[in-house]
């Protein structure tokens, strides 16, 4: 009897150790204590080729999205308000320090060709309602017509707002509010809008949204989730015909989410691949989804997991579908102190991109089990590029790179690679992809 009990206890301890040892071993990499603070050589001089676009207006743009020649960004309007109320950073002062009125963050559109910046007025959005911007996605649904989905951390509950925008106007028109709190979507973080197709027409308003925590407004509860890397995050799906449904769970802080979207309305239909970041594990997982049938038995199937050494934030797929970009936090333990006093405490930033063209085929068609090349674009311990980096995107054809973050002043625009004297940039990329 004692021998059997001892054997069972030994087996239980061995099983526990098999989980705890790898789990604990991830901390040095994720916290940056074992990180080599250097980018890959081809990006070593990137900082010398960067300009901060509109630093007075594009402040704290946690998320931006590029559609064609347009960059849409959701940005902070009042820093004092943001540092009192922002649930993702565990700030819950609903009284805003006695300040009266609603929270009114801003949405901008930047023309990447002309560099013209337009603040988009929220034409019919009630002035008495909070608009505390966080994650977002944008789709072109008809020539010159866009649908925007934005996470709004209202003080009476976090929701997803839908807006419409027409090129040539200076406004976004509020179309709908999607409230998933009754289904457990307390902490929406980021959105991926499913491209319009016969299976998912625009009227379906179909999207995935990450839910980064289980605790709603408990600072202590969220600290426990973060420090113990608890798998309490999830992903929800919404469409007009289905409403909200939880489709993924067990994720350690589900944060960034992205997928393939058509480069233009005349482009071939994109691959139905979804990328989800469980940032406290440093893991991005790719899934195949079926538009119009996500809730079916095989509507969402796992393809592959990418294990990285960073706490990534938002994800973005390049327009050519070749790269998955991610910006994040090199030393996440310093982020709260930085957010409280950004001029005094730096916040290390990192940006990686993962190749989606390994083994000769675009991701989602073949090669999912192969190893994907990772390029380290920014590894910035001192906050030289900007602090609290959260969103990055690159464009090989334009040779451009953009970066923003929680406390950035302006969106950084850089030349992605410096041309060599003996070859141009496009030739470098062609050689790398062969």
Residue 141 neighbours by CB under 8 Å, 6+ apart: 147, 196, 202
Closest CA to 214 of 229, 237, 233: 233
Per DSSP, which regions of 112-222 are E strands? 117-119, 121-122, 133-142, 145-154, 157-166, 171-178, 188-193, 207-211
Residue 328 near residue 396, CB atoms below 8 Å: no
Rounded mean pLDDT, 155-176: 98
User: Both tokens of residue 16?
Assistant: 């526990």
Residue 263 has what pLDDT?
Answer: 80
Rounded mean pLDDT, 35-55: 95
Tell whether the model's pLDDT for residue 17 goes beyond 70.
Answer: no
Rounded to whole angstroms, the Cα distance separating 325 from 117 reads 24
Q: By CB neighbour count within 10 A (0-12 exposed, 13-18 middle, 19+ buried), where does 31 fall? A: middle
Residue 61 near residue 132, CB atoms below 8 Å: no
Asked if residue 189 belongs to a known ligand binding site, the reply is yes
Residue 4 has what pLDDT?
Answer: 66
Tell whether the model's pLDDT for residue 363 goes beyond 90.
Answer: no
Lowest-pLDDT range, 127-141, 336-350, 392-406?
Answer: 336-350
Tell whether the model's pLDDT for residue 142 goes beyond 80.
Answer: yes
Residue 369 has what pLDDT?
Answer: 56
Rounded mean pLDDT, 75-95: 96
Q: What pLDDT, in 10s, does the model give residues 197-239? A: 989 999 999 999 999 999 998 999 999 999 899 999 999 999 9
Tell whether the model's pLDDT for residue 12 goes beyond 60.
Answer: no
C-alpha to C-alpha distances, 83 to 202, 236, 327, 339, nearest whole angstrom: 36, 28, 22, 8
Rounded to whole angstroms, the Cα distance separating 93 from 353 reads 36
Q: What pLDDT, in 10s, does the model give residues 285-327? A: 999 999 999 999 999 999 889 999 999 999 999 999 999 999 9
Lowest-pLDDT range, 98-112, 144-158, 331-345?
Answer: 331-345
Asked if residue 314 belongs to a known ligand binding site, the reply is yes
Is residue 85 within a helix (H) or strand (E), and if so which, with residue range?
strand 85-86
Lowest-pLDDT range, 17-31, 264-278, 385-399?
Answer: 17-31
pLDDT band for position 123 (cuts 50, 70, 90): confident
Tell whether the model's pLDDT for residue 355 goes beyond 60.
Answer: yes
Asked if residue 281 belongs to a known ligand binding site, the reply is no
Q: What pLDDT, in 10s, does the model give residues 364-408? A: 555 555 678 899 999 999 989 988 999 999 999 999 999 999 999
Residue 422 has what pLDDT?
Answer: 59
Closest CA to 316 of 53, 62, 38: 62
Is residue 14 within a helix (H) or strand (E), and if so which, with residue range?
helix 2-25
Residue 360 has what pLDDT?
Answer: 44
Asked if residue 313 belongs to a known ligand binding site, the reply is yes
Per DSSP, which regions of 252-282 are E strands? 254-259, 273-278
Residue 412 near residue 53, CB atoms below 8 Å: yes
Strand order in the sheet with 117-119: 63-67, 70-75, 106-111, 117-119
Residue 77 near residue 404, CB atoms below 8 Å: no
The residues carrying an active-site annotation are 134
Residue 428 has what pLDDT?
Answer: 40
Tell whether the model's pLDDT for residue 181 goes beyond 90.
Answer: yes
Residue 304 has what pLDDT?
Answer: 87
Tell whether the model's pLDDT for residue 431 goes beyond 50.
Answer: no
Tell whether the model's pLDDT for residue 121 goes beyond 50.
Answer: yes
Rounded mean pLDDT, 398-419: 96
| Residue-averaged pLDDT of the chain | 90
Residue 271 has what pLDDT?
Answer: 87
Instruction: Output Rg (C-alpha) for the chain, integer angstroms.
Output: 21
Residue 370 has what pLDDT?
Answer: 60
Residue 9 has what pLDDT?
Answer: 61
């Amino acid at each position: 009897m004692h021998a059997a009990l001892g054997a069972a206890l030994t087996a239980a301890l061995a099983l526990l150790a098999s989980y705890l040892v790898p789990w604990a071993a991830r901390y040095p990499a994720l916290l940056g204590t074992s990180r080599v603070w250097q980018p890959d050589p081809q990006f070593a001089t990137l900082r010398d080729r960067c300009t901060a676009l509109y630093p007075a207006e594009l402040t704290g743009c946690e998320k931006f999205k590029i559609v064609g020649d347009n960059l849409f960004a959701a940005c902070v309007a009042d820093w004092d308000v943001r540092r009192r109320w922002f649930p993702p950073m565990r700030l819950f002062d609903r009284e805003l320090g006695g300040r009266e009125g609603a929270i009114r963050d801003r949405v901008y559109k930047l023309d990447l060709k002309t560099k013209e910046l337009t603040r988009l007025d929220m034409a019919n959005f009630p002035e008495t309602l909070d608009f505390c911007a966080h994650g977002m996605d944008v789709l072109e649904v008809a020539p010159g017509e866009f649908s925007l989905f934005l996470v709004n951390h209202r003080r009476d509950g976090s929701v997803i707002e839908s807006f419409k925008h027409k090129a040539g106007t200076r406004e976004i028109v509020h179309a709908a509010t999607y409230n998933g709190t009754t289904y457990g979507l307390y902490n929406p973080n980021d959105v991926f809008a499913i491209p319009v197709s016969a299976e998912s027409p625009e009227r379906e308003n179909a999207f995935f949204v990450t839910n980064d925590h289980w605790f709603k407004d408990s600072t202590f509860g969220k600290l426990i989730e973060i420090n113990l890397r608890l798998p309490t995050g999830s992903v929800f799906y919404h469409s007009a015909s289905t409403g909200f449904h939880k489709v993924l769970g067990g994720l350690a802080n589900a944060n960034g989410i992205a997928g393939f979207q058509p480069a233009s309305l005349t482009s071939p239909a994109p691959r139905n691949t979804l990328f989800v970041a469980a940032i406290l594990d440093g893991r991005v997982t790719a899934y195949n989804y079926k538009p119009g049938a996500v809730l079916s038995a095989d509507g969402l199937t796992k393809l592959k997991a990418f294990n990285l050494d960073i706490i990534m934030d938002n994800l973005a797929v390049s327009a050519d579908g070749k790269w998955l970009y991610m910006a994040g936090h090199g030393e996440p333990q310093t982020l709260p102190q930085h957010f409280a006093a950004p001029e005094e405490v730096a916040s290390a930033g990192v940006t990686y991109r993962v190749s989606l063209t390994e083994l000769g085929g675009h991701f989602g068609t073949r090669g999912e089990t192969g190893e994907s090349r990772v390029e380290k674009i920014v590894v910035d311990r001192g906050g030289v590029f900007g602090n609290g980096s959260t969103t990055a995107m690159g464009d090989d054809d334009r040779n451009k790179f953009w970066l923003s973050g929680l406390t950035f002043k302006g969106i950084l625009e850089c030349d992605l690679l410096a041309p060599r004297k003996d070859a141009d940039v496009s030739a470098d990329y062609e050689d790398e992809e062969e």
